[in-house]
Amino acid sequence: MKIKLNYIYLIIITFLISLLIFGYLLNKKSSASKKNEISNILQQLKTRNIQIGKIQKNLLKTDKNINNLINSKEINFKIVFENKELDDFKDYSFSKYTTNEILFNGNRGAIGTGFIDFYNKDKSVFLATYDGIFAFAELNNLQKFNKIDSNINSLVQYEKFYLHDQYGIKDILIDENTLYVSYIGKREDNCYDLKIISTELNKEYLNFQIFYETSNCVNVENSHGFYPAQGAGGRIVKLDNSNILFTTGDFRNRPLAQNLKSDFGKILKINTKNRKAKVISFGHRNAQGLYYSKKFNFIISTEHGPKGGDEININLDPLKKIKNFGWPISSYGEHYYKNYSKKILQEAPLNKSHKKYGFEEPIKYFVPSIGISQIIPFDDNDTAFLIGAMGNEIQDQDLGLHLILLNEKRQKVINHKYTLLNERVRDMITSNDRKTVIIFLESTSSLLVLKRM
């Protein structure tokens, strides 16, 4: 009976995935307008997510996982194209691999969401899915990711983590032989925090332990509202041999970003030995991209604005003093709604200047927003950077890559170029020699590999 039930589940899942991919391709080819195409795709994704979520919910009650019904040992990718050239990247070849074996996503416009990092001296790639499936592959064979069992299900037990696109894993970092994973945690009923778990990296079993958790949580019932999908942050990068950097969003409880007694709306420095955190900067809404230049001692970060106002921020000599980047007092974006109370508008006025109010100005902002995501260096001198864009509007320069060039002092953007990929860019990594870039594209659950020729 159990075998038959698993078989039925597998047939249903395969059908739902096939239907989704068919609908995506059909709309992409024949939709009368871009907005109708996007609307149709999003509705299909929403329907699929609800149906798969119901199956997963029933399986979790019996200590099973829907992912393992598809493939218990591997996540397989197939080649879409290899060694293709793009006009905007003359010195690079592009290869793309896609999978239908990642089921859960971090946005209703995505088929599957994953986070990636290099390890083993850049010879291997590690993958974590939004709902906590871990796998690795060799760089020369990205068609086969071998799954690694873990104890994450015993640490993360609230249902929304596995079923809802607003929760889940937010980033991973591999430092030497340690794996760090950030995610939205549930502290108590209706109150959520950010956590980092860590484990010694191996290919057999990942025995996670809580490494860090914010000192407080954000209550769903607050005067500004609660929206983790647009306000969690969660990026992790290495600062030095004893510290990592960690971004936290405000979960849309806007005043938290200006409150130094709160861990939210900040970039934190966390000591890996004593696990104590210090604020590096505050006044952040939702920093989605993060990079620290050890060579030139600066932090560059990207941040979601509300309706408009995505930012690229530079923090030169970041350990010298705590800097304030202004949110929600200043922003080049607008509120989503115009009927907020007077109290909310006083606490979050979104003034159209940062410097006038004593805050750090972004080196670039986007109006309308591009759905800004990860940022990685694209040269050896930390002046050129690739930035991902999610969103869903091509005319707003979403769904692709932005390449910016900074001046020698790294104080302003002197050149900016946009390349359309027609995909939501969720995560990006670059090898230490800057010759290989891997991008996770969540619109089709794919990996895009750039190799310098």
What pLDDT is stored for residue 165 in this prediction?
82
Amino acid present at 103 = L
Closest by CA position to 129, among listed 452, 427, 430: 427
Task: Tell me the average pLDDT across 164-174.
Answer: 93
Among the ranges given (20-34, 70-84, 346-360), the one the predictor scored with the smallest mean pLDDT: 20-34
Residue 107 has pLDDT above 70, yes or no: yes
Task: Tell me the average pLDDT across 323-330.
Answer: 98
Among the ranges given (150-164, 179-193, 282-296), the one the predictor scored with the smallest mean pLDDT: 150-164
Task: Tell me the average pLDDT across 29-38.
Answer: 53
- Other C-beta atoms closer than 10 Å to the C-beta of 121 total 8
- Other C-beta atoms closer than 10 Å to the C-beta of 255 total 18
What pLDDT is stored for residue 52 in this prediction?
85
Distance CA 55, CA 49 (A): 10
Residue scoring higher pLDDT (296 or 52): 296
Can you say how many angstroms the Cα of residue 164 is from the centroid of all Cα atoms in its chain? Answer: 15
Distance CA 227, CA 115 (A): 21
What pLDDT is stored for residue 29 in this prediction?
46
Residue 6 has pLDDT above 80, yes or no: no
Distance CA 128, CA 207 (A): 15
Distance CA 9, CA 120 (A): 37
- Mean pLDDT of all residues in the chain? 91
* Residue 400 Cα distances to 21, 90, 393, 415, 421, angstroms: 20, 17, 10, 17, 5
Amino acid present at 378 = F
Residue 301 has pLDDT above 90, yes or no: yes
Do residues 130 and 199 share a domain?
yes
Domain with 399 in it: 75-452
Q: What is the DSSP letter of 53?
A: H
Do residues 126 and 28 share a domain?
no
Distance CA 70, CA 354 (A): 50
Do residues 183 and 51 share a domain?
no
What does the pLDDT look like over 113-146, one tens digit per residue? 999 999 999 999 999 999 999 999 999 999 999 9
Do residues 83 and 142 share a domain?
yes
Do residues 115 and 152 share a domain?
yes
- Domain end, chosen from 29, 53, 70, is at 70
Confidence of residue 48 (pLDDT cuts 50, 70, 90): confident
Can you say how many angstroms the Cα of residue 114 is from the centroid of all Cα atoms in its chain? Answer: 8
Burial of 161 (0-12, 13-18, 19+ CB in 10 A): buried
Do residues 64 and 79 share a domain?
no
Q: Which of 17-26, 51-60, 417-426 has the highest mean pLDDT?
A: 417-426
Do residues 209 and 228 share a domain?
yes
How many structural domains comprise the chain? Answer: 2
* Residue 205 Cα distances to 173, 249, 419, angstroms: 17, 31, 39
Do residues 176 and 42 share a domain?
no
Residue 436 has pLDDT above 70, yes or no: yes
- Domain end, chosen from 16, 49, 70, is at 70
Cβ–Cβ < 8 Å for 286, 250: yes
What pLDDT is stored for residue 7 in this prediction?
60
- Domain end, chosen from 22, 46, 70, is at 70
CATH number at residue 384: 2.120.10.30
Structure tokens, 311: 């930012």
What pLDDT is stored for residue 37 in this prediction?
64
Among the ranges given (33-42, 107-116, 273-282, 331-340), the one the predictor scored with the smallest mean pLDDT: 33-42
Q: How is the beta sheet containing 436-441 ordered, strand by strand?
A: 78-86, 89-98, 446-452, 436-441, 425-430
Distance CA 32, CA 447 (A): 29
What pLDDT is stored for residue 231 in this prediction?
84
What pLDDT is stored for residue 392 in this prediction?
86
Confidence of residue 30 (pLDDT cuts 50, 70, 90): very low
Residue 17 has pLDDT above 50, yes or no: yes
Burial of 289 (0-12, 13-18, 19+ CB in 10 A): buried
Task: Tell me the average pLDDT across 231-239.
Answer: 95
Among the ranges given (173-177, 179-183, 223-227, 274-278), the one the predictor scored with the smallest mean pLDDT: 223-227
Residue 317 has pLDDT above 80, yes or no: yes
What pLDDT is stored for residue 294 in this prediction?
97
Do residues 66 and 79 share a domain?
no
**Pairing state of beta strands 114-119 and 277-282?**
unpaired
Task: Tell me the average pLDDT across 419-448.
Answer: 97
Residue 236 has pLDDT above 50, yes or no: yes
Do residues 86 and 111 share a domain?
yes
Do residues 28 and 111 share a domain?
no
Do residues 286 and 322 share a domain?
yes
